[in-house]
A and B are shown apart, each in its own frame.
Chain A
Amino acid sequence: MTATAPPRTAPALAVSGLSVELERGRDGAVPIVRDVSFTVERGRRMGLVGESGSGKTLTAMAVMGLLKRPLRVAGGSVRLGETELRGLRRRSLDRVRGGRIGMVYQDPMQSLNPLHKVGDQIAESLRLHTSLDRRAVRERVVELLDDVGIHDAAAKARAYPHELSGGMRQRAMIAMGLAGDPEVLLCDEPTTALDVTTQRRIVELLVRISQERGVAMVMITHDLGVAAGFCDDVAVMYAGRIVEQAPVRDLYARPAHPYTEALLSAACDLTLPLDRPIPTIPGQPPLPGLLAGGCSFHPRCPYAQEACAQERPTLDGSDRRRVACHFALASVEQTEASDV
Chain B
Amino acid sequence: MPEPTTPEVPAAGGAPAGAATTVAASFAGDDAAAAAAVAARGARRRRLPRPTMLGFATTVLGVIVLLVLAAPLFAADPDAQDPINAFAGSSFAHPFGTDDLGRDLFARVLDGGRLTLLIAGGAVLVAFLLGTLWGFVAASRRGIVDELLMRSADALMAIPQILFALVCISAFGASPLNLALVVGVLLAPTTARMARSAALQEMSRDYYAAAIAYGARQRRLLVRELLPNTTGQLAVQAAINAASAIILEASLSFVGLGIQPPDASWGTLLKEGYAFLYQRYEYAVFPALAILLTIWMLNVVADQLGGRPKRGRA
Contacts and interface: CB of A to CB of B under 8 A. Distances in A.
A30 B31 CA distance: 13
A125 B19 contact: yes
A97 B19 contact: yes
Contacts of B33: 52-53
A257 to B, nearest CB: 20
Given A53-B34, A188-B29, A94 B39 contact: no
B31 A55 contact: yes
Given A97-B19, A97-B20, A115-B12, A53 B31 contact: yes
Contact of A192 (B1, B17, B43): B1
A124 interface: yes
Contact of B17 (A52, A60, A128): A128
Contact of B43 (A25, A51, A68, A114): A25
A66 B24 CA distance: 6
A147 interface: no
Contacts of B31: 32, 52-58
A70 B22 contact: no
Contact of B34 (A52, A66, A102): A52
B18 A103 contact: yes
Interface string B6-17: 000101111111
Interface string A125-138: 10010000000000
Contacts of A289: 38, 41
Interface stretch (A10-18, A104-112, A203-211): A104-112
A287 B39 CA distance: 11
A61 interface: yes
B217 interface: no
B18 A57 contact: no
Interface on chain B toward A: helix, strand, loop, or mixed SS?
A: loop
B23 A105 contact: yes
Contact of A32 (B13, B23, B35): B35
A77 B43 CA distance: 28
Nearest to A285: B34
Interface string A12-46: 00000000001111110010100000000000000
Contacts of B16: 112-113, 116, 120-122, 124-125, 176
B18 A52 contact: no
Count class of interface residues, chain A: 35 or more
A327 B168 CA distance: 84
Interface in A162-207: 173, 176-177, 179, 188-189, 192-193
Nearest to B36: A22
Contacts of B35: 22, 32, 58, 71, 288
A111 B39 CA distance: 25
A47 interface: no
B45 interface: yes
A110 B18 contact: no
A159 to B, nearest CB: 14
A147 B26 CA distance: 24
Most buried by A among B5, B14, B30, B41: B30
The winner among B29, B33, B39 for most chain A CB atoms within 10 A is B29
Interface string B38-58: 110101111000000000000
A110 B34 contact: no
A64 interface: yes
A265 B25 CA distance: 34
Nearest to A177: B18
B29 to A, nearest CB: 5
Contacts of B177: none
A93 B19 CA distance: 10
A298 interface: no
B148 interface: no
Shortest 5 CB-CB distances between A and B: which pairs? Answer: A98-B19, A121-B16, A52-B30, A53-B34, A97-B19
25 contacts: A22-B43, A24-B39, A24-B43, A24-B45, A26-B46, A27-B43, A58-B31, A66-B20, A103-B19, A105-B27, A110-B5, A110-B13, A110-B25, A111-B18, A113-B16, A113-B22, A115-B12, A120-B16, A124-B17, A125-B17, A125-B19, A177-B18, A189-B1, A287-B37, A289-B41
Given A110-B25, A222-B1, 13 more contacts: A22-B35, A22-B39, A24-B44, A25-B45, A54-B31, A64-B23, A68-B24, A94-B20, A105-B26, A113-B22, A121-B18, A124-B18, A188-B29
